Amino acid sequence: IVFSLKQYLKEAVVIALLYLLYGGIKWVTSRGEKEQVEGARNHIIAAIVGLVVVFLAIFIVSIVLGIFGLELKDLTIPKIVP
């Protein structure tokens, strides 16, 4: 589970950074038009909010597991054996 969570975290960061970069490019190429600048700003805000949500989710899971005396690396996915 730890590997998959780390992988998801990396993917989320890469996607958010690409989305942030896209918003920045839209802002630069908007030529000051109000609607396009607002759209670019919304892309940037969405990317930042997405990153915050991902990191808060990991933080909350870690806190809850800590309350129960567990660590993220202790969790395993049960296998179904027929």
Res 25: pLDDT? 94
Question: Is the predicted pLDDT of residue 46 greater than 90, yes or no?
Answer: yes
pLDDT tens for 20-45 read 999 999 999 998 899 999 999 999 99
Q: How far is CA 15 from the centre of its chain?
A: 8
pLDDT tens for 1-21 read 566 777 888 898 899 999 999
Average model confidence (pLDDT) for the chain? 86
Intra-chain end-to-end CA distance of the chain, in Å: 22
Whole-structure pTM value: 0.74
Q: Which residues, at least 6 apart from 37, have a Cβ–Cβ distance to it below 8 Å?
A: 27, 30
Res 26: pLDDT? 94
Distance, CA of 62 to CA of 32 (rounded, Å): 44
Res 3: pLDDT? 67
